[in-house]
Amino acid sequence: MKIIKSVSDMSAEVARLREEGKRISFVPTMGNLHEGHLSLMRMANPLGDVLVISIFVNPLQFEPGSDFDAYPRTFQDDLEKCEAVGVDIVFAPTEPDLYPEGFQTTVEVTEVSKGLCGDFRPGHFKGVATVVLKLFNIVKPHVAVFGEKDFQQLCVIRRMVKDLNLDVEIVGHPTVREPDGLAMSSRNQYLSPEERRHATLLYQLLKRAREQFQKGEKRAQRLIADVQNGLSRDPLISVEYVSIRDRETLKPLGKTIDRPAVMALAVHMGKTRLIDNIFLG
C-alpha cells in the first residue's frame, strides 16, 4: 500500500495509472475509520483495478465554532485498517497543499444543499462539494463510493457530478449499522453509555415509520409526527428535524408520499449530533 501526501505526487501517480489503462475506484474519507468506511472500501475494491482512499479532515465543511480541532485524527490506526481491506493508495494531503494561500474558489449545489442538515450547518455542503470536486480532479477516479447514511451529501455529490459533467460514476452504499440498529458514525464514540442505549430509538422509529408506510399509510405528516413524538418522549434526545423528501431532488413532498422518498432525521444527544434516514417506497 502506497501512502501519498502531496498533490503533485498523487497527480503523477494517477497519470501513470491512467496511461497503463487502470480503472481507479475511490473512497474519500476524513479518517477515524470504522466499519462503515471499511464497507465502502470493500464495495469499491472490485469496481476498479486500483483502490484509492483519501484521508483529509476538511476545514471548509466545519461551521465556525464546530468540532474541527476536536475531530479525531487516528492516522496510524487508519492505515492498518486500509491495509487490511486491500487499499492500494492512501492519499493524505496536507491542508496548505490542498488549500494554498490565496485559495478562494468554491462550489455550491444550491438547491439540494437547502433544508435538512443544510438549514442547521450553514456552508457545510459547500465545503463538502468543494473538497470532493478537488479530490476528483486530483485522483481522477472512474468510480467513487459514498455512504447513504449522509444521504443529503450523496445527493449533493450526484447533482454536482451531473451539473458539471464530471466523468465519474457515483455509487451509494447502504447505511452500515451496529447490531442494535444504530447507524455507524465517528460521532457514536462521543455518546455516554446511557446515551448510546437511547440512541437505538432513532432506527427503531424510522423502521416503524417504514412499516406503517408499507401497510398503506401514505400521509407524510402522520409518519413525521409519529417519529417526532417518539423522539420527543426521550429525555436524552433533542430533535433538530424529521422530514420526508423526494429521494432524488430532496424537495419537500406534498401531503401524500406518491414517489420514492427518504425519511431523514437529525437529533442532538448531549453534545453529539446524530443523523439517520430510511427509504420509503
Of 92, 128, 250, 257, which one interacts with ligand PAF (CB under 6 A)? 128
Provide, rounded to whole angstroms, the least separation between the CB of residue 147 and ligand PAF: 7
Is 268 designated active site? Answer: no
Of 150, 170, 188, 223, which one interacts with ligand PAF (CB under 6 A)? 150
88 is a site residue for ligand PAF (CB under 6 A)? no
Whose Cβ is closer to ligand PAF: residue 199's or residue 275's?
275
Which of these ranges, 23-31, 89-97, 112-120, 249-257, lies near ligand PAF under the rule CB under 6 A? 23-31
Whose Cβ is closer to ligand PAF: residue 61's or residue 231's?
61
Handedness of CA 216, 200, 58, 64 (dihedral sign): positive
58 is a site residue for ligand PAF (CB under 6 A)? yes
131 is a site residue for ligand PAF (CB under 6 A)? yes
Which of these ranges, 28-36, 74-82, 94-102, 113-121, lies near ligand PAF under the rule CB under 6 A? 28-36
Which of these ranges, 26-34, 173-181, 205-213, 217-225, lies near ligand PAF under the rule CB under 6 A? 26-34
The active-site residue, picked from 34, 37, 173, 198, is: 37
Q: Which three cell numbers stand for residue 81?
A: 485498517
132 is a site residue for ligand PAF (CB under 6 A)? yes
Which of these ranges, 126-134, 217-225, 252-260, 272-280, lies near ligand PAF under the rule CB under 6 A? 126-134
Whose Cβ is closer to ligand PAF: residue 132's or residue 202's?
132
29 is a site residue for ligand PAF (CB under 6 A)? yes
As a three-state string, the secondary structure of the chain is CEEECCHHHHHHHHHHHHHCCCCEEEEEECCCCCHHHHHHHHHHHHHCCEEEEEECCCHHHCCCCCCCCCCCCCHHHHHHHHHHHCCCEEECCCHHHHCCCCCCCCCCCCCCCCCCHHHHCCCHHHHHHHHHHHHHHHHCCCEEEEECCCHHHHHHHHHHHHHCCCCCEEEEECCCECCCCCECCHHHHHCCHHHHHHCHHHHHHHHHHHHHHHCCCCEHHHHHHHHHHHHHCCCCCEEEEEEEEECCCCCECCCECCCCEEEEEEEEECCEEEEEEEEEC
Whose Cβ is closer to ligand PAF: residue 168's or residue 253's?
168
Of 17, 24, 28, 160, which one interacts with ligand PAF (CB under 6 A)? 28
Strand ranges across the sheet with 238-246: 238-246, 261-269, 272-280
Q: Residues in the chain, how many?
A: 281
What residue ranges bind ligand PAF (CB under 6 A)?
Answer: 28-30, 58, 61, 128, 131-132, 150, 153
Residues marked as catalytic: 37
